[in-house]
Amino acid sequence: MAEEIFDVTIVGGGPAGMFAGFYAGLRGMKFKIIDSLEQLGGQVSAMYPEKDIFDVAGFPRVSGKQLVKDLEEQLLRFKPLLVLGEKVSTLVKRPADNIFEITTDKGGKHYSKAIVLTLGMGSFTPKKHPNAEIVPYEGKGAYYGVLSLEPFKGKRVLVVGGGDSAIDWALMLEPICSKVTLIHRRDEFRAHESSVNKLKASKVDVKLWYELKTVKGNGKVEEAVIYENHTMAEESLPMDAVVLNFGFQASLSFLKDWGLTLEKNKIPVNQKMETNVPGIYAAGDIVTHPGKLDLIATGFSEGATAVNFSKTYINPNDKAEPGHSSNLKW
């Protein structure tokens, strides 16, 4: 069977990758998207589908799942080839013709003139609580994210953490739960000031300088044991669910095997989103460059930039500047 060679292959199906695919379609490029998850949306779909997002232009507020749905509608008008549920295992550039050969963990082989990496945080997993006593309760009242609000309705919920996600989850849960308590090990939050102000004005019971010791119950969470980290005094709270947010662990060592340079677990790029390997571009949370901000809005811009300059890499006679989308024929 003859090799089917694509203009650009986007590795990563999160928001940045989806918008990059849309832009590849705008530029008339033959493209595909490969992602290890079974659905588009990346970390937003996997971890934050119910979370409200406030920093996307044009949306006063939008849930993660609605944003992904809108991005998917935008993307699918170009009928891209989607390869979901497959993780890229090898990526090599053939010296004879400069075509990239991609192999996935399912044995799939893909061929492309250029690559755009929108891997987000890479192969990510939530950081777990160090107490192994909590493991048997995972999925039985102990959660590392809020994938759906339904299981929490009318429940007593403890949220652990002080970042944006923890505060957002507490604010989302407060109207539907009988009681929401948030504990944080410090007296300062690592969250947007507006979210902190909403938290202070809400009915969420906020306990600072507290940490979670363990959970107890008969086959499901029925109690949470917390402690004040100055005095170490313990307190038991009746709870139906505990939501923990300690961040994520990312595994990106495989990128070195692809010949890519890493800088503090991220890929350094220039203003064209070029990596150290000609023909490989990167965008979104996976990249670093001077002035970099890890925002979805930034990822959209970087994804479009990567695709447009990949077009000039494939054909130097093409222009990177795409012109106005309103001038294009749909």
Q: How many CB atoms sit inside 10 A of residue 181's CB? A: 21
Q: Is the pLDDT of residue 324 over 60?
A: yes
Instruction: For 152-208, give the DSSP string.
Output: GTT-EEEEE--BHHHHHHHHHHTTTSSEEEEEESSSS-BS-HHHHHHHHHSS-EEEE
For the ranges 28-32, 54-58, 187-191, 325-329, the maximum mean pLDDT occurs at: 28-32
Q: For residue range 282-310, list pLDDT tens digits in order.
A: 999 999 999 999 899 999 999 999 999 99
In this structure, are residues 242 and 143 in contact, taking their beta carbons and an 8 Å threshold? Answer: yes
Pairing of strands 109-117, 100-104: antiparallel
Question: Which of 127, 142, 132 has its CA nearest to residue 242?
Answer: 142
pLDDT at 54: 84
Task: Verify that 192 and 102 share a domain, yes or no.
Answer: no
Do residues 119 and 146 both lie within one domain? no
Predicted local distance difference test score (pLDDT) of residue 327: 58
pLDDT bucket at 315, cuts 50 / 70 / 90: very high
- Is the Cα dihedral 166, 169, 171, 175 positive or negative? negative
Say what percent of the chain tops pLDDT 70. 95
Based on the fold, state whether residues 178 and 190 are members of the same structural domain: yes
Shared domain check, 29 and 106: yes
Q: Tell me the average pLDDT across 195-211.
A: 96
pLDDT of 1 > 60? The answer is no
Q: pLDDT tens across 151-201, in order? A: 999 999 999 999 888 998 999 999 999 999 999 999 999 888 888 999 999
Q: Which of 228, 244, 260 is the last residue of a domain?
A: 244
90-147 residue pLDDT tens = 999 999 999 999 999 999 999 999 999 999 876 556 788 999 999 999 999 999 888 7
Distance between CA atoms of residues 22 and 71, nearest Å: 8
Q: How many domains does the chain have?
A: 2
19, 87: one domain = yes
Instruction: Report residue 267's pLDDT band, with 50, 70 and 90 as the boundaries.
Output: very high
Question: Which CATH number goes with the domain that contains 19?
Answer: 3.50.50.60
CA proximity to 120, closest of 31, 35, 195 = 35
Distance CA 293, CA 60 (A): 20
Pairing of strands 234-238, 223-228: antiparallel
Which H or E run includes 237? Answer: strand 234-238
Q: For residues 89 and 226, state if they share a domain.
A: no
Give yes or no: residues 261 and 155 share one domain.
no
Owning domain of residue 176: 128-244
Residue 123 is predicted with a pLDDT of 57
Name the CA dihedral angle for 289, 291, 296, 300, rounded to a multiple of 10 degrees. -60
pLDDT 10s digits, 241-250? 999 988 776 6
Say if residues 199 and 176 touch (Cβ distance below 8 Å): no
Whether this model's pTM surpasses 0.85: no
Shared domain check, 136 and 118 = no
Higher per-residue confidence, 268 vs 62: 268
- The maximal CA–CA distance of the chain, rounded, in angstroms, is 70
- Are residues 306 and 205 part of one domain? no
Least Cα distance to 44 among 23, 59, 19, 63 occurs for 63
Query: What's the pLDDT score for residue 38?
Result: 81
Q: Which tens digit of pLDDT belongs to each residue from 59-78?
A: 998 888 899 999 999 999 99
Please answer whether residues 252 and 120 qualify as being in contact, where contact means their C-beta atoms are separated by less than 8 angstroms. Answer: no
Same-domain pairing of 172 and 97: no
Where does a domain end: 244, 268, 295? 244
Do 231 and 263 sit in the same domain of this protein? no
Say which residues have a Cβ less than 8 Å from residue 32's Cβ, sequence separation at least 6. Answer: 6, 9, 10, 80, 81, 82, 83, 110, 112
CB 91 within 8 A of CB 105: no
Which comes out higher in pLDDT, residue 276 or 126?
276
Which of residues 199, 227, 244 is at a domain's end?
Answer: 244
Candidates 34, 63, 31, 29; CA nearest to 49 is: 63
Residues 94 and 21 in one domain: yes
